[in-house]
Structure 1
Amino acid sequence: MKIIALYDGKCSLCQRTKRTFQKLDWNQKMEWLSLQEYEGSQFSAVDLRRELHIILPNGHILKGFDAVRKLLLKSPPTLIVGLFLYIPLIPLIGHPIYRWIAKNRYKFGAKTCTDGSCSIEEKN
C-alpha cells in the first residue's frame, strides 16, 4: 500500500512540491491526491490547506514538517536528508520553518498563483 499525500491542487507551490516528489519517488511509494478531491472526508478544508497531510499505509496521519520528512525518508535520492531531519532537536527548527513557508506560500507562487488560491486565509 502507498503513502497518500494530500496537496492543494490549486496552489502552484503545492503543485511544484508534488511534481518534485513524484520525480524522486523511484520506488513508487506515494500517491498524490488533490485535497479538493478529498475534502469532506476526515479533515476540514482549512486544515488541509494549512499544511501537507499524508496518510501512511497503517492509517496514521502526519502533517506539515513531519509529513515532509517522512516523504524525504521514503525517496531514495533524499534518504540522507530525511534521516537528518529525524535527529533530535532538528524538529524544533523544522516545524517553525515549515509553518512559515506554508503561511507565506502565496508569496512563493505570486507569479503563478494569480487567482489567490495559494492564500490560506482566503479559504474557509
Structure 2
Amino acid sequence: MKTIALYDQTCSLCQETKRISNKLDWLGKVEWISLQEYEKEQSLFVFRNEDLRKELHIITPSKKVYKGFYAVRRLLVLFPATFFFGILIHVPFIERIGNPLYLLVAKNRHKFLRKNCGNGSCTR
C-alpha cells in the first residue's frame, strides 16, 4: 500500500507541490488524491473540509495521519533525493521553526502565487 497525499486540485501551490513530489518519487511510494475526489468517496478517515484546505494531509500505509509540516517532513523521507534532508528536519525541536513556517506559507499562499492563482482558490 502507498502513502496517500490529499491535495487541493484548485490550488496552484498544491498542484506544484504534487508535480515536484511526483518527480522526486522515483520509487512510487505516494499516491496523490485530490481532496475534492476524496470527499466524494466513502473513506476510512473523515476530515473537516476546512482542515483539508488549510494543510496538506497524508495517510500512511499503517493508517497514521500527518498534516502540514509533519506531512511534508514525512514525504521528504520517502523520496530518495530528499531523504537526508527529511531525516535532518526530524531533529528534536525543529518543528518549533518548521511548523510555524509551514503555516505562514499555507496561510499566505495567495500572496506568493498571485500570478498563478487566477481562479481565486489560493485566497481560501
TM superposition score category, shorter chain reference: over 0.9
More divergent stretch after superposition (32-41 vs 67-76): 32-41
Residue 22 of structure 2 corresponds to which residue in structure 1?
22
Residue 10 of structure 1 is matched in structure 2 by 10
Letter of the aligned partner of 1:106 in structure 2?
Answer: H
Aligned residues: 120
In the superposition, the TM-score normalised over structure 2's length comes to 0.93
CA–CA separation in structure 2 for the residues paired with 1:115 and 1:29: 31
Which structure 2 residue ranges, 5 or more long, are not aligned? none
Structure ranking higher in helix proportion: 2
Q: 2:117 corresponds to which residue?
A: 113
The Cα of 1:28 is off from its aligned counterpart by 0.3
Indicate the SS of the match to 1:111. helix
Q: How does 1:27-66 map to 2 (within 5 A)?
A: 27-39=27-39, 42-66=46-70
Q: Any gaps of 5 or more consecutive residues in structure 1? A: none
Q: Distance in 1 between matches of 2:49 and 2:39?
A: 6
**Distance in 1, Cα, partners of 2:61 & 2:102:** 24
- What is the Cα deviation at residue 96 of structure 1? 0.2
> Which residue in 2 is equivalent to 1:95?
99
Matches of 2:39 and 2:52 in 1, distance apart? 8
Provide TM-score, normalisation by structure 1: 0.93
- 2:76 counterpart residue number: 72
Report the RMSD for the aligned CA atoms in angstroms. Answer: 1.0
- Name the aligned partner's letter for residue 116 of structure 1: G
Moved over 2 A (4+): none
Report the identity percentage: 56
